[in-house]
Amino acid sequence: MIVPFPAPESDPINFGDLPPAIDDLLQKGVIAYRRDFALAEKFFREALAAGPDELPTFFCLYKIHTYHGNLDEARAVALAGMLKAVRQAGWPDDFREWVPQPEISDGPARFALYTLKALAFIHLRRDERAAAEEILDALRKLDPTGAVGWPVVAELAAGVAR
Give mean pLDDT, residues 54-65: 97
pLDDT > 70: percent of the chain = 92
The pLDDT confidence band at residue 2, using thresholds 50, 70 and 90, is: very low
Cα–Cα dist 75/119, whole Å: 7
User: Has residue 16 got a pLDDT over 80?
Assistant: yes
Residue 1 within any structural domain of the chain: no
Residue 10 within any structural domain of the chain: no
Domain that holds residue 70: 20-161
Question: Mean pLDDT for the chain?
Answer: 91
Cα–Cα dist 24/26, whole Å: 5
Write down the pLDDT at residue 9: 53
User: Has residue 74 got a pLDDT over 60?
Assistant: yes
Give mean pLDDT, residues 106-121: 96
What CATH number should be reported for the domain holding residue 43? 1.25.40.10
Residue 64 within any structural domain of the chain: yes
Residue 113 within any structural domain of the chain: yes
Judged on CB neighbours under 10 Å (0-12, 13-18, 19+), 43 is buried
Q: How far is CA 29 from CA 24, 75, 145, in A?
A: 9, 20, 32
Q: What's the pTM value of the predicted model, to 2 decimals?
A: 0.90
